[in-house]
């Protein structure tokens, strides 16, 4: 299967497409993935529901997102991302209304499952797949540009959520986010994103093999790639939910923790801006190397009790900022544009399922070992991911050497 060349109309509207996806990504992340970090304590205090279950709502939502991600990727591959992303906004909006009206814990969890459908159909992996479907191998610059917007999600939405929490409570906060998704994001997707020419259906047995066999790629590279993307997602998922709690555990007030936590966003954006300027000069594997190294430095510095916390958070933010770019561009560089959207759905599944367990696992670590022990565990995972990324680079180098030798023969 091959992608059709992007139409002139799509190319002319690339700025509008990227801006639309960027703004909606900020609010999609802020009203789902980043929301519990601010409102979870208030939800537990107001309702009496256990905090582990309140945070666990996000875990179950991520599990739902992981389960549907292969279907999302296949749908975008065949029909484009317009309707899939609109569906995402609808699900997040309806789910936020469900959170706001939840009379009991069961209803609250059910609302998170609906939000999970929206996360699976509308966060980075789906947005990257949409850009890949439109622009083919040339999507690298569009993906990088999109991540510049996404890096502001926590910086913008954590303070907004904290402000709304103080003004209208956690239920009112959810209703505000629901209004944005249903009244702004959903119409924007339908109006701005172009309809894509449908691709022919692929037989299931070919669909499973296409990303590997079409490109004559060693399947072990995909396995290592999936592993390192998954481990990176676990680390960022755990800290996105518990960073404020960890910082408060060192004696900070909520306002100070939010202020320091907000530094992560600008660090992401700065790293992505630099990457955008120099991307043409290097392979995305170097972006991946820089990402895992910066995350390891940042998390390890926090664990070691480095007195200049902003520096540690800046390294961490730069690392996860580059990770988002590598997540979208490295599979494109390794496997090509054929079947890219479907491949992104497959790669998203293990990382989202692992992310589903990460917040609850983080809560258990905090309960048993405290902030210092939690950071020690995350530091170990970050160092392990450095080794995985090195292993991926080694496998790529061996593959290239093998191809060179075969051509000589």
Reading the chain (409 residues) residue by residue, the pLDDT tens digits are 344 444 444 444 678 888 889 899 999 999 998 898 889 889 999 999 988 789 889 889 989 998 999 899 888 988 888 899 999 999 999 999 999 999 999 999 999 999 999 999 998 888 888 888 888 777 888 888 888 887 778 778 888 998 999 999 999 999 999 999 999 999 999 988 887 655 544 444 434 444 443 444 567 788 889 999 999 999 988 887 788 788 877 766 677 777 777 777 788 888 888 888 887 888 888 999 999 999 999 999 888 876 678 888 889 999 988 998 888 888 888 887 788 888 888 888 888 888 888 877 888 888 888 888 889 999 999 999 999 999 888 877 777 666 555 555 5
| φ/ψ bin of 339: left (φ > 0), alpha (ψ from -120 to 50), beta (otherwise) | left
**Residue 151 near residue 268 (C-beta atoms within 8 A):** yes
**CB atoms near residue 204 (< 10 Å):** 9
Residue in 395, 1, 384 with CA at minimum distance from that of residue 219: 395
3-class DSSP assignment, residue 339: coil
pLDDT of residue 113: 96
Distance CA 4, CA 72 (A): 20
Which class for 305: exposed (0-12), middle (13-18), buried (19 or more C-beta within 10 A)? exposed
pLDDT of residue 208: 41
**Two tokens at 164?**
């709304």
| φ/ψ bin of 136: left (φ > 0), alpha (ψ from -120 to 50), beta (otherwise) | left
The pTM is what?
A: 0.78
Cα–Cα distances in angstroms (integers) from residue 69 to residues 38, 137, 208, 310, 344, in the given order: 27, 21, 14, 35, 8
pLDDT of residue 10: 42
| DSSP 8-state class, residue 215 | T
Give the distance from CA 191 to its chain's centroid: 25
pLDDT of residue 59: 85
How many helices (H) and strands (E) would you count in the chain? 17, 0
**Residue 199 near residue 297 (C-beta atoms within 8 A):** no
Pure H helices in 214-308: 219-249, 254-261, 264-278, 284-303
């Amino acid at each position: 299967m091959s992608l059709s060349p992007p139409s002139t109309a799509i190319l002319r509207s690339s700025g509008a497409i990227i801006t639309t996806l960027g703004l909606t990504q900020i609010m999609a992340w802020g009203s789902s993935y980043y929301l519990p970090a601010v409102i979870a304590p208030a939800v537990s205090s107001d309702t009496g529901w256990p905090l582990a279950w309140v945070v666990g709502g996000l875990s179950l939502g991520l599990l739902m997102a992981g389960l549907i991600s292969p279907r999302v990727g296949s749908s975008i591959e065949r029909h484009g991302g317009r309707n899939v992303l609109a569906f995402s906004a609808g699900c997040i909006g309806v789910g936020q209304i469900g959170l706001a009206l939840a009379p009991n814990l069961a209803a609250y969890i059910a609302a998170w499952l609906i939000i999970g459908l929206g996360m699976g159909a509308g966060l980075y992996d789906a947005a990257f797949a949409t850009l890949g479907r439109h622009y083919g191998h040339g999507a690298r610059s569009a993906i990088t540009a999109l991540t510049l917007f996404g890096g502001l999600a926590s910086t913008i939405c954590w303070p907004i959520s904290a402000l709304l929490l103080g003004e209208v409570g956690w239920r009112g906060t959810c209703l505000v986010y629901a209004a944005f998704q249903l009244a702004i994001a959903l119409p924007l997707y339908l109006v701005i994103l172009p309809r894509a020419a449908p691709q022919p259906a692929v037989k299931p047995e070919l669909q499973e093999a296409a990303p590997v066999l079409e490109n004559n790629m060693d399947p072990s590279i995909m396995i290592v790639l999936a592993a390192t993307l998954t481990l990176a997602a676990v680390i960022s998922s755990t800290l996105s939910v518990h960073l404020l709690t960890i910082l408060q555990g060192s004696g900070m007030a909520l306002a100070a923790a939010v202020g320091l936590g907000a530094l992560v966003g600008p660090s992401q954006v700065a790293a992505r801006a630099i990457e955008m300027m120099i991307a043409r000069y290097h392979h995305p594997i170097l972006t991946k190397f820089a990402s895992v190294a910066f995350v390891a430095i940042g998390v390890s510095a926090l664990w070691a009790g480095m007195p200049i916390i902003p520096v540690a958070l800046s390294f961490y933010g730069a690392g996860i900022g580059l990770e988002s770019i590598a997540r979208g561009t490295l599979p494109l560089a390794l496997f090509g544009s054929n079947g890219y959207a479907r491949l992104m759905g497959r790669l998203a599944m293990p990382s989202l399922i692992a992310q589903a367990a990460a917040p609850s696992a983080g809560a258990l670590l905090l309960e048993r070992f405290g902030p210092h022990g939690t950071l020690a565990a995350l530091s170990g995972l970050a160092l392990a991911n450095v080794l995985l990324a090195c292993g991926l680079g080694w496998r790529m180098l061996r593959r290239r050497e093998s191809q060179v030798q075969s051509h000589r023969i």
